[in-house]
Amino acid sequence: MERVELTAEIPLDAQGERLDQVAARLFPDYSRSRLQGWIKSGELLLDGAAARTRDKVRPGQVITVGAEVEQVVSWEGQAIELDILYEDADIIVLNKPAGLVVHPAAGHADGTLVNALLHHAPEMASLPRGGIVHRLDRETSGVMVAARSLQAHHSLVAQLQERTVKRQYCAVVIGVMTGGATIDAPIGRHPKQRKKMSVVAIGGKPAVTHYRVERRFGHHTQVSVNLETGRTHQIRVHMAHKHYPLIGDPLYGGRPRIPAGASEELITALRGFPRQALHAQRLILEHPASGDILEFETDLPADIQTLLSVLELEDPVVAAY
């Protein structure tokens, strides 16, 4: 067992919501049923006092949790294959496959990228979060960097905070874009669906996404995306906010959208695509020790290449750049 101590202030946009609903938003690593149990047992308090799950909350109130929970995650090394692009004493740069969770958490106790890294380089166990300084969603593939030393960890975190790390993604979205643009819209937890993020007017964190059109198809667009910030689900949220959700993203795009008159090949490709069509293609950073500028680029994975090939044949290109 381990002791959990949590504290969070009720945000402005939660006025009048139920306590258990807001708690689920503020503490997404724990299920609503567990949070409801803590409320009923008095381990979750509102302004220091016991409350009921259905009690309405006000902005500025404080939720605190003090509870014993079973240890559910493993930060131990596991023999999981890694596609390493570069490594030295300070950093490891790798190509993460779709389907691999980055670090252990509730619901993903082990079998993660961190477990693989700790098996490959056990010294990373002494670093914050096992050397992870940024993350990719489970179903997003592509290049990412991890620290192998404390100096490198500090340097990479600072570079990310100063927005000097350049991250370029390939995305395939639903809809035909007229051109590139910048999306500057704050992102926060969805007010009602705790597993989702959304563009919010109050309480969100700054989020800036730049994108340009690479290829336009009859009903879809391949875009190149550059991030200034790194919010949870940022590209997926921003593209959906502009009404161009990613192919294969049920969380933000809903069911697959099949164009009228689509061929069987196109229908199969769209309905069968197993994940959001998003790949971290390029990463540029300053080496923490030498100061050299390093650039890493990965090929598009086979599933996205196949998807683009089907779109080119069955959803004919309108324009290419």
Catalytic residues: 137
CB 148 within 8 A of CB 87: yes
Both tokens of residue 210? Answer: 């730049």
CB 99 within 8 A of CB 275: yes
CA atoms within 13 A on the CB side of 252: 27
What is the Cα–Cα distance from 165 to 107, expressed in whole angstroms? Answer: 30
What is the Cα–Cα distance from 185 to 200, expressed in whole angstroms? Answer: 8
**DSSP code, position 12:** G
What is the Cα–Cα distance from 123 to 91, expressed in whole angstroms? Answer: 12
Tokens 């997926």: give the residue: 236
CB 254 within 8 A of CB 138: no
DSSP secondary structure string for all residues of 112-153: SHHHHHHHH-GGGGGSGGGGB-S---TT-EEEEEEESSHHHH
Both tokens of residue 96? Answer: 């993460």
**To the nearest 10°, the Cα dihedral for 302, 197, 183, 214?**
10
Q: Which amino acid is at 164?
A: T
